[in-house]
Structure 1
Amino acid sequence: MKRTLDVLNQMVKDKIIESYAIGGAIAAYNYIEPTLTEDLDILVSFEHAASASGLMTLTPIVTYLASKGYTEFRKEGIVVSGWPVQFLPVANPLDAEALNEAIKIDIEISPSEGSVSAQVLTAEHIMATALAVGRPKDHIRLTQFIEMNAYDGTTFCEIIDRHELRAKWVAFCARFDIFDPYETTRKP
């Protein structure tokens, strides 16, 4: 993974992407028990990604990676040093906030390889995104965060309020018989 993250960091230096943050299962691994994943989800922002039609295009990323020899696709990702990387452009205000508030960490790869710096989404933004998307695996991830108390309840509640996810949260808590920590952390 070190080489994959080195490539991502170089993409920022080369101004192919403005910034990135690791999301999904790999980001969650920093806070809760690991889960099996086949790819690396990368939330990205980049300046000139919109086409004339207004649609986002990953052409600058694909072209850059192809010039470095990364042309294999596996599922939804481009394979970069053995890892399928799924580039997810910022698509909504929650994504933009999550990317802006991502934290920089040093990921220890191994004693021989050392560590590499990377941006990772906060626990609360991982949870809010999982709540917004709402797939079964997202519900499992939310439950893991709750059971491990691996998040700040006040911060999470502020995020779900800002992004109008309160109704989804109440429904999630009711469906899975989870005590709604929102009620104890919400400011009057």
Structure 2
Amino acid sequence: MEKVLQLLNEMESEGLIRRYAIGGGMAVMFYAEPVLTQDIDIFVLLPPTEEPIIILTPLYDFFQQRGYQFRGLHLEVEGWLVQFLPATNDLEIEAVQEAVEVPYGSTSARVMRAEHLIAIKLQIGRARDLFHVQMLWQQAKIDHAYLQSVLERYGLKEKWQAFFSEASQP
């Protein structure tokens, strides 16, 4: 994964992306026990453009010029499947902007805060996402006041309460 991080940092320094953050199941592993995940979800903030649609071609070209190929919907980089996800809603944008730097080998990785991961996974609401929410709640060091402010800002307090209601039932 270190090579993926090095390439992401290079993309950022070249201006192909403004900022990135690891999200999804891979990000959960920075805070809790390892979980099965098939890919590395990279949320990105792209440079401003006049285009009305989001174009990821320059990101994929960057990797293909370095010899990496597609495997299905993902890029395969040194054995890792990589998926780029433009941060498109306010919660995702905030999560990328406030991501934390963590060391990974000799490289720095940017990972979404646990509080943002909880909110995004709660918003999506699939069974595996709710499992990740439970893992993060039980194992990660959570800033509870900050989590509550994120949930409130993005209208997720009812989902949070429903999650705890369901989790406490036998």
* TM-score, structure 2 normalization: 0.92
Matched, 1:141 2:132: yes
Matched, 1:165 2:167: no
- Measured against aligned partners, the alpha-carbon deviations of 1:84-141 in whole angstroms (never above 9, x if no partner) come to 1110101100011101110111113xxxxxx211111101011111101101001101
Confirm or deny: 8 A CA contact 2:18 2:44 kept in the other structure: yes
Confirm or deny: 8 A CA contact 1:70 1:80 kept in the other structure: yes
* TM-score, structure 1 normalization: 0.84
Matched, 1:27 2:27: yes
Matched, 1:67 2:58: no
Superposition RMSD in Å: 1.6
**Bigger mean CA offset, 25-34 vs 142-151:** 142-151
Match of 2:104 in 1: 107
After the TM superposition, which residues 150-161 of structure 1 pair with which residues of structure 2 at under 5 Å, given as runs? 150-161=141-152
Per-residue deviation, 1:50: 6.4
After the TM superposition, which residues 67-86 of structure 1 pair with which residues of structure 2 at under 5 Å, given as runs? 67-74=65-72, 76-86=73-83
Matched, 1:6 2:6: yes
Confirm or deny: 8 A CA contact 1:105 1:117 kept in the other structure: yes
CA distance in 1, matches of 2:36, 2:58: 30
Aligned pairs, how many? 169
Note closer, same or farther for the CA distance 1:18–1:47 as it changes in structure 2 (3 Å cut). same
Per-residue deviation, 1:63: 1.7
Matched, 1:17 2:17: yes
Per-residue deviation, 1:42: 0.5
Note closer, same or farther for the CA distance 1:13–1:149 as it changes in structure 2 (3 Å cut). closer
Helix, strand or coil for the counterpart of 2:81? strand
Match of 1:90 in 2: 87
Any stretches of 5+ residues in structure 2 without a counterpart? none
Confirm or deny: 8 A CA contact 1:49 1:60 kept in the other structure: no
Note closer, same or farther for the CA distance 1:50–1:156 as it changes in structure 2 (3 Å cut). farther
Match of 1:37 in 2: 37
Amino acid at match of 2:152: D
Helix, strand or coil for the counterpart of 2:69? coil
- Measured against aligned partners, the alpha-carbon deviations of 1:9-57 in whole angstroms (never above 9, x if no partner) come to 1111111111101111221111111101111010101114663xx2212
Match of 1:116 in 2: 107
Confirm or deny: 8 A CA contact 2:21 2:112 kept in the other structure: yes
Per-residue deviation, 1:153: 1.3
Any stretches of 5+ residues in structure 1 without a counterpart? 109-114, 179-188
- Measured against aligned partners, the alpha-carbon deviations of 1:56-96 in whole angstroms (never above 9, x if no partner) come to 1211111222211122223x321122211110101100011
